[in-house]
Amino acid sequence: MSLDRYIRFWQESTTRNEYNEPVKTLSLFQGMRASVNYKGGREGYYGRQVVATGDVFFTVRYFPGINERMFIEYGDRMYDIKHIEEIGRRQFLGITAKMTDNMDVPEENTTTTTYPITTTEAITTTTYTTTTEAVTTTTARE
Each residue's pLDDT tens digit, 43-99 = 777 777 777 778 999 999 999 999 999 999 998 889 999 999 999 999 999 999 998
Tens digit of each residue's pLDDT (9 = 90 or more) over 102-111: 666 666 554 4
3-class secondary-structure state, position 29: strand
Rounded to whole angstroms, the Cα distance separating 40 from 58 reads 14
Range 116-131 burial, b when 16+ CB lie within 10 A, else e: eeeeeeeeeeeeeeee
Rounded to whole angstroms, the Cα distance separating 96 from 113 reads 26
Nearest to 91 by CA among 46, 59, 125: 59
**CA 46 to chain CA mean position, Å:** 17
E-strand ranges in the chain read: 5-16, 22-46, 49-61, 70-74, 77-87, 92-100, 112-114, 118-119, 123-130, 134-140
